[in-house]
Structure 1
Amino acid sequence: MSFSKNYVLAALLSVALSFCVGAGSASAQDSENAPSAAIETIEPILSYDTAYNLQLAIQKYEAIVAAGGWKELSRGTYGLKKGAVQGHVRGLRRRLVATGDLSADLRMSDKFDQDVEDAVRLLQARHGLRPTGIIDQETMITMNVPATEKLTQLRLNLLRVQDAVSALSERYIVVNIPAASIEAVENGTVQRRHTAIVGRIERPTPLLHSKVHEINFNPYWHVPKSIIRRDIIKYMNDDPQYLTNFRIKIYGADGEELDPASIDWSTDEAVQYAFRQEPGAENSMGHVKINFHNKHAVYLHDTPQKSLFGQNRRFHSSGCVRVEEVDELVAWLLAGNEEWNQLAVDGAFASGERLDVRLKSPVPIITTYITAWANRQGVVSFREDIYQFDKQGRVALLDD
């Protein structure tokens, strides 16, 4: 999703937000858009400004910890939603006030009203949860993380940002793995923001710094040997028509195409051959592959599985990164190639024809691991430590 779609509402809310205080003042009509508007600013997750904003957030959470933090929510809080009137709502209100999601100026009561729903939705959005306004299991677990742990997380991420900003330039892409999101940044501001799907825990997306140098339209997919070994052999044992259905062909060392029936799928024999998926609707890379040099053989790409972008936890890939609205990111990357614009990109997608285009001006790309950040309005965001790098106390985020 691009920044421009939410810019006006975000600008209006920024005047009222000060470390999230006052979020509950939004009207019911605006409540559906308020959380995303408050969070989706033009500020990059990774920038020099991020370091300053994190320092302010640390000061805020130091004060929260010094004041005793917050109490764990009672079991009766689970399932609460707008309209509930009971004593557990008071504890919920106090918890929301502690982090500034609910204004401290509002009268304390037992009622789960519109102000409380808006505050819950803002807290959920700040943590990458679906902003339903209902205290579900994920929200309950998130709210019960101690303030001391949040403070430690902020301090660690400040070190990460300070360590990584020297690699930034005027124009770059950041893939933030814990947020499963992508930002296209130019002159210090986010030009485009995209939902992403990144590597699952057992096949993580690597941390790296490279440059996007080439766009492959309607590409072949050359299946990595790791996927042949781990996945395709299993799929073929389950369904002998799998390769045929997904238009994947097998080639021997001499370049000759092999019949899948000639391979012993009860062994690892298949790993010695080359597997290539033809361009088309079934292709795992969709209509485009975005190339950058790296030792891990990963890349950004389209996907036919669009429904996965609607999930909260988007850790499904084997290390590569799938991009929502990838056509718009490709047009942004090709801005330095005079003959390419959004119309040309859309035409290339629609044609289905193989085409490779080199960027006249390669664009730096960083895949990073930021689990806590803050924007200029003081809205502090957190994400799950999906790869356990926070737990390890890992600071350095560039392997390449």
Structure 2
Amino acid sequence: MKKIQLIIGSILLLALSFTSCKKDKDNVGADTETHDHAEKTIPLDTTQFGEFYNKYPDYKKYSSEISALYKKHPHYIWHEKRGLIEFAEALYNQVNQLGNDGLPSKVPYKNVLDDLFQDSGRGEKPNVQSELLISSMYFFWANKTLDGLPADKSRETGWYLPRERTDYVAYLDTLMKDPAKVKGDKEGMFNQYFALKKGLVKYRDIKKKGGWESITLPEGVKAIKEGDSGVAVTQLRARLAAEGYLKSDSKSNVFDSSLKDAVTLYEKNHFREFDGKVGPAIIKELNVSIDDRIKSITVNMERCRWVTPAINTQKEYIAVNIPSYRLRYVKDGKIDLISNVVVGKELNKTVVFSGNMSYLAFSPYWNIPKSIVEKEIKPGIAKNPNYLANHNMEYYNNGNIRQKPGGQNSLGKVKFMFPNSNNIYLHDTPAKSLFNQDDRAFSHGCVRVEKARELAIKITGKDGGWDAAKVDKAMNADKENTYALKNKIPVYITYFTAWADDNGNVAFFDDIYDRDNSLAGLLYN
């Protein structure tokens, strides 16, 4: 009997032992799962936010965005139990390289951030102060690199292109999924930004090597050309070599074919043809200091932040750059036409804005603005009673004046309309000789297009199957006739005084409306 009881007791003991082991095993699994969850989402005490802003008031400007961030993610973002996540360190490294983005490198509370990231922050327990410091650092970085100056400040510089503000909270989720974007998000920025960034590296390297010296023409010499010799030739050679237009500086004082080729390339990169002579205009450009060239690159990088990245993938659009006097028509994602343009003179600046081209007007009337009537037409009539007839003009609509269609119409034979409050549009012109000038700021504000006929043929051909003959007939009609586009074309009027190719080679253009210095002041102050 005792033997049977002993066996039963042993069985019960084994059963209890097994149950206990299973229970312990289940508990281990439950503890591990809870630990993994806690590792990912550590609760955050939001009641300490006010104390943080009192201690770091420069970051209070981001308080609403920080609140939105932790409302969406109500836990520590930058920390795990063992310390800072790797992406926090990557972001910190980018903040330390703001100068590479053409930005001032002064970061609020930099010394505190440096201490925080010492030894990568490993082993540090999560705390509200360090968490909010990194979030504030993120919003500071995003604000500077993605959006740049506030819209009201960009408008002070004459920039009226619509600006799209980035949702920094949503963008952080994007970066967390693809941390490599923190080094340069080509989907989130106008692609010219990255070309100029390469140029900034190049020109800073030129500065490290000593930059370049000025070129001085001998007294009484108006220009130098192939075959000439002298100190000015040596200076020109050294200057072009410094910027990379010559592979090396032979230090020869003779203006040889290699130097001619270098000047020709320089002129080509600035959308001009070399006439064989290096005169005061070219030398004035070449004598601009390396520091001013670097400044020009950085302010134009800032302008890139104001351009919608949607332009990178748009299949069709027209872009006019005022300082370079150039128009580009992009069709099917590729440049289909490049044309010289004439833009507004200093007193009638062409406005930086965008619109959607909706129709073309062939053989147009020119409804003369009242300001021009008062300043030019009425004084002309006072001197010559036949002024209107001589200029193919007439009265219409209660004393207003317009110029009738024809070869001498100031709008030429076609205008490209994108209705806007600035009353600016693209148009043809009978004054073709103006396109031969290097400086082409002559208009009353609208943009005169040298290849207006070619542009009209390309637009109507794609939109409605028109051929050149049909366009010519419309351009030479006795009365105005319009062509309504089936698909509107975005038009961007921009202002870039520096433009880089994909290799970082930069072309610089005169700041014809004197805007770079004011923008640099806003950017660095």
1:90 and 2:216 aligned? no
SS in structure 2 of the partner of residue 190 of structure 1 = strand
Worse-matched range after superposition: 329-338 or 92-101: 329-338
1:81 maps to which residue?
225
Using the alignment, how far apart are the partners of 1:116 and 1:346 within structure 2? 44
Partner of 1:360: 486
Separation in 2, partners of 1:230, 1:65: 49
Q: Quick one: distance in 2 between partners of 1:318 and 1:194?
A: 19
Q: Which deviates further from its counterpart, 109-118 or 129-138?
A: 129-138
Counterpart among 200, 210, 213 of residue 68 in structure 1:
210
CA-CA distance at 1:391 after TM superposition: 2.0
Write the distance in 2 (CA, Å) between the matches of 1:130 and 1:236.
41
Q: CA deviation at 1:237?
A: 3.1
Residues 1:214 and 2:359 are matched in the alignment: yes
Contiguous gaps of at least 5 residues in structure 1: 1-46, 254-272
Q: CA RMSD in A?
A: 2.1
Measure the CA separation in 2 of the matches of 1:142 and 1:232. Answer: 38
Moved more, 117-126 or 306-315: 117-126
Which residue of 256, 265, 270 maps to 1:113? Answer: 256
Match status 1:51 vs 2:196: no
CA distance in 2, matches of 1:186, 1:109: 46
- C-alpha distance in 1, partners of 2:255/2:438? 25
How far is 1:121 from its partner? 2.3
For 1:215, what is the secondary structure of its paired residue?
A: strand
SS of alignment partner, residue 53 of structure 1: helix
The aligned counterpart of 1:203 is 348
Show the 5 A alignment for 1:20-169. Answer: 48-76=190-218, 79-104=223-248, 107-166=250-309, 168=311, 169=314
For the 8 Å contact 2:315–2:334, the answer to whether it is kept is no
Cα separation, 1, equivalents of 2:397 and 2:467: 40
Using the TM superposition, give the Cα deviation of residue 324 of structure 1 relative to its aligned residue in structure 2, in angstroms: 1.1
- Cα distance between partner residues in 2 of 1:167 and 1:352: 41
After TM superposition, the structure 1 stretch with the greater mean CA deviation from structure 2, 278-287 or 118-127, is 118-127
**In the alignment, structure 1 residue 177 sits paired with structure 2 residue 335:** no
Whether the 8 Å CA contact 2:362–2:480 is kept in 1: the answer is yes
Higher relative contact order, structure no. (Cα contacts within 8 Å, ≥ 6 residues apart): 1
Tell me by how many angstroms 1:372 deviates.
0.5
Return the offset for 1:109.
1.2
Aligned to 1:269: none
- Kindly indicate whether the alpha-carbon contact (under 8 Å) linking 1:217 and 1:354 is maintained by their aligned counterparts in 2: yes
Normalization by structure 1: what TM-score? 0.78
- Measure the CA separation in 2 of the matches of 1:243 and 1:149: 49
**Change in 2 beyond 3 A, CA 1:238/1:113:** farther
Aligned mates of 2:349, 2:310 — CA distance in 1: 22
1:283 pairs with 2:409: yes
Asked if the contact 2:359/2:484 (under 8 Å) is kept, the reply is yes
1:261 matched to which residue of 2?
none
Secondary structure at the residue paired with 1:211? strand
Q: What is the CA distance between 1:128 and its match in structure 2?
A: 4.7
5+ long unaligned stretches in structure 2: 1-188
Contact (CA 8 Å) 1:337, 1:360: kept in 2 or not?
A: yes
Q: In structure 2, how many angstroms separate the alpha carbons of the residues matched to 1:377 and 1:242?
A: 54
Q: Does structure 2 conserve the Cα–Cα contact (< 8 Å) formed by 1:126 and 1:382?
A: no
Normalising by structure 2, what TM-score?
Answer: 0.60
Shift of residue 68 of structure 1? 2.2
Q: Deviations over 1:357-387 (max 9, x none)?
A: 1100000001010110111244321110000
Give CA deviations for 1:243-275 in whole Å, capped at 9, x if unaligned: 11111111353xxxxxxxxxxxxxxxxxxx311
Would you say the 8 A contact 1:195–1:323 is kept in 2? yes
1:243-262 superposed matches below 5 A: 243-251=388-396, 253=398
Whichever structure has more helix as a proportion of its residues is 2
The 8 Å contact of residues 336 and 361 in structure 1, kept in 2 or not, is answered as: no
Q: Which residue pairs with 1:292 in the alignment?
A: 418
- Within 5 A, what are the aligned runs for 1:219-368? 219-251=364-396, 253=398, 273-368=399-494
SS of equivalent to 2:510: coil
In 1, the alpha carbon distance for the partners of 2:259 and 2:342 equals 31
1:279, CA displacement in angstroms?
Answer: 0.7
Q: Higher mean Cα deviation, 362-371 or 323-332?
A: 323-332
| Change in 2 beyond 3 A, CA 1:197/1:325 | same
Distance 1:236 1:109, change over 3 A: same
Distance in 1, Cα, partners of 2:486 & 2:520: 36
- Mean CA deviation greater in 353-362 or 83-92: 83-92
> Pick from 366, 371, 375: which aligns with 2:497?
371
Count the aligned residue pairs: 330
> Matches of 2:222 and 2:505 in 1, distance apart?
25
Taking a change above 3 Å as real, the CA distance of residues 374 and 113 of structure 1, as seen in their structure-2 partners, is: same
Cα deviation, residue 95, structure 1 = 0.6
Which segment drifts farther, 172-181 or 333-342? 333-342
3-state secondary structure, aligned to 2:236: helix
In structure 2, distance between residues paired with 1:245 and 1:392: 44
The question of whether the paired residues in 1 share the 8 Å contact of 2:190 and 2:307 is answered with no
| Partner SS for 2:254 | coil
Offset at residue 392 of structure 1 (A): 1.5
3-state secondary structure, aligned to 1:175: strand
1:167 Cα shift?
A: 5.2
Partner secondary structure for residue 124 of structure 1: helix
Q: How many Å apart are 1:353 and its aligned residue?
A: 4.0
Distance in 2 separating the partners of 1:142 and 1:114: 21
Cα 1:308/1:121, change in 2 over 3 Å: same
Change (3 A) 1:394 1:347: farther
